[in-house]
Amino acid sequence: MDRRIVIVGFMGCGKTTVARALATRLECGMLDLDAIISAQQNMSVPDLIKERGEPAFRDIETDTLQIVLDRVTPRIIALGGGAWTLERNRTLINKHECLTVFLDAPFDLCWQRITNHPVPRPLAIDQPGAEKLYRERMPLYALANLRLKVTDQLSADQVAARIVETIQRKT
Ligand code: S3P
């Protein structure tokens, strides 16, 4: 199985750290879409959203995703939390036959990580708003090929190990 693996899920579910751990286990490369966007735009993603607005950020996000998927890129791709929720991005990812993995973390864990993280999330400013967004997005994350429960008892490497096991069982 050498399909590219795209990690999706809400802010704070651990997409980037799990993608890194998975890349180590599978001995392949990984990239973080937000990191590519901020390097290309010379600006952090939160600043991009604050200065240019969310719709402009979403356009840049889709353009960057398209470029990344069209090129020979590292096998593991961690998305920003909103990317998979847009149909146009899901279509692109599915067209490229990537295997999508949803990291299903409870809201409380995501929120705890969001508030403890030094990088601000402009789309998760207060708990009620973030929780509403989380509930709205759940059915969309559930469209991923694989769904993996994440808890605060599991390290990123343990989650990565479970992903590998699940892939071996199901593909
Ligand atoms: C967003 C999630 C962020 C980042 C941006 C928008 C979202 O990425 O892309 O702030 O809409 O959920 P993380 O999920 O890595 O925090």
| Amino acid at site 49 | I
Residue 139, SS3 per DSSP: helix
Per the DSSP assignment, residues forming a β-bridge with 30 are: 76
71 C-alpha vs ligand 1 centroid, how far in Å?
23
Q: Which residues pair with 148 in a beta bridge?
A: 103
pTM of the model: 0.96
Per-residue pLDDT of the chain (171 residues; tens, 9 = 90+): 689 999 999 999 999 999 999 999 999 999 999 999 999 999 999 999 999 999 999 999 999 999 999 997 899 999 999 999 999 999 999 999 999 999 999 999 999 999 998 888 999 999 999 999 999 999 999 999 999 999 999 999 999 999 999 998 876
How many C-beta atoms surround the C-beta of residue 93 within 10 A? Answer: 22
CA of 24 to the centre of ligand 1 (A): 23
Domains of the chain in sequence order? 5-170 (3.40.50.300)
- Alpha-carbon Rg for the chain, nearest whole angstrom, is 15
Residue 102: strand, helix, or coil: strand
Give, using CA atoms, the residue closest to atom 3 of ligand 1.
Answer: 80
